[in-house]
Chains A and B, each alone.
Chain A
Amino acid sequence: EIVLTQSPGTLSVSPGERATLSCRANESVSSSYLAWYQQRPGQAPRLLISGASLRATGIPDRFSGSGSGTDFTLTIGRLEPEDFAVYYCQQCGASPPTFGQGTKLEIK
């Protein structure tokens, strides 16, 4: 199965600053099959990005995704208080679909 490794495990950033989260796969993933989710405490995950860079409906444009092959990035510009959460990447190009272990974005 494809293993996704997210880094860092925890990222401390101040509100208003930019955050950059990484997702690395142990083998190539087509960009079409890479998604990002946000999970706030006590809530279900929410789709942010599909196809590596396509924002889901209602997602603010401060969220952007990029990357290809084995390296993907989620960037959050101008952090708002509600952005501090856990973020997961997911690949669905190979079976089984797999998730990264998550990056916790915390307030600095």
Chain B
Amino acid sequence: EVRLLESGGDLVQPGGSLRLSCAASGFPLSSYAVNWVRQAPGKGLEWVSSFSTDGRTYYSDSVNGRFTIFRDNSKNTVSLEMNSLTAEDTAIYFCTRGRRPVAGRGPKYYYDFWGQGTLVTVSS
């Protein structure tokens, strides 16, 4: 059974940092892309970052330069290091497994499995 379990969400002050982790089970992490998608309170879904099977990383413009995504194959986890956080980063962060409809490059994935999410609140 495919499972994704996020952790690390917390209350953090503006300008602070936080690391989220996604523990994957039921599939080989190295064979699939893993992505972070967030949802601000009462709002819609927003793609944040992707880690592809070839090790390439992708970021939305809103987090590029502040967030870093990385993978630890030995632990079967993908993590998101978040720096210089602002109130606009407040959201539930979902870890998702990505699938490419067509072979290629770039964060061109749809998401066939989702974790339950972890809440990040940026507030003083």
Contacts and interface: CB of A to CB of B under 8 A. Distances in A.
B110 A44 contact: no
Given A44-B116, A45-B114, A56-B112, A99 B107 contact: no
Contacts of B94: 44-45
B70 interface: no
Interface residues of A, number: 25
Contacts of A32: 101-102
Contacts, number: 65
B56 to A, nearest CB: 12
Contact of A33 (B108, B112, B117): B108
Main secondary structure of the interface of A (DSSP, over half): loop
B61 interface: yes
Interface of B: 44-47, 58, 60-61, 94, 99, 101-102, 106-117
Interface of A: 32-33, 35, 37, 43-47, 50-51, 56, 88, 90, 92-102
